[in-house]
Amino acid sequence: MSKYIIFDLDDTLLDFQKGEVEGVKKILKTNGVADIHQGFSTYQTINQKVWQQIESGMPRQPLLDTRFSKTLALFDIDANGVKLEAEYREMLNHNFYTLPGATALLDSLKQNDFTLFVGTNGVKKTQFDRLEGSGLLKYFDDYFISEDIGFSKPSTEFFSPIFNKYQQLTRENTFMIGDRLQSDILGANRVGLRSIWYNPNEMENTFDYQPTYTANSYDQIKQILL
């Protein structure tokens, strides 16, 4: 039976998308974008490319500081990307939305004596504030955040501090659980951990690598682990 679980946060336990939509739309509206729907779609395209670059190993903050200025430039709006990123970051720090059922899942796992870790890409203050504000922090024995580590999933270096601190972790007793194939699942594969792809929208896997398991609900995650 598995004993240790490394959990991704955003869109695995915390409802990042809800807070993202609110924050991005507010910035677009404040800066004069008339068609908010088109503006948000444009931002999503640019943001996806930014995160692909970050996950490939490029420096995080300089890339994040461009995503709003690049978006607004396509609407002929000149903006200070660094300033807007800071404003957006402050909004994210107070995004305490959890996905329905997340607390019940963590309760069940703790009752069954699992040791739970956070293993997430992101800014330390943002992720820690959200863990605290959402009430989920109490479930976790430790947390590992990419800004702290200096590497992002799927890099193998992201997992090094976890293995160094908890040398009892093995493929047989540990799972990585997350919603992103490109970071959570690929990262787990690279370091030889079993994985559960949390896929509530039943998306197709178009990549040439596979998770150990796929779960479309928290109940399925519990069935796999228990």
Choosing from 10, 11, 129, 179, the catalytic residue is 10
DSSP label of 139: G
Assess whether 15 carries a catalytic annotation. no
Choosing from 8, 11, 129, 184, the catalytic residue is 8
Decide if 24 contacts 40 (C-beta within 8 A): yes
Burial class (CB in 10 A: 0-12, 13-18, 19+), 56: exposed
DSSP label of 110: H
Q: Among residues 108, 69, 65, 62, which one has the least CA distance to residue 225?
A: 108
The tokens for 158 are: 């992201």
Place of tokens 């300033």: 83
C-alpha angle with apex 104: 89 to 7, nearest 5 degrees? 50
Assess whether 65 carries a catalytic annotation. no
The residues, ordered by sequence, that sit 6+ positions from 129 with a Cβ below 8 Å of its Cβ are: 93, 94
Q: Give the active site residues.
A: 8, 10
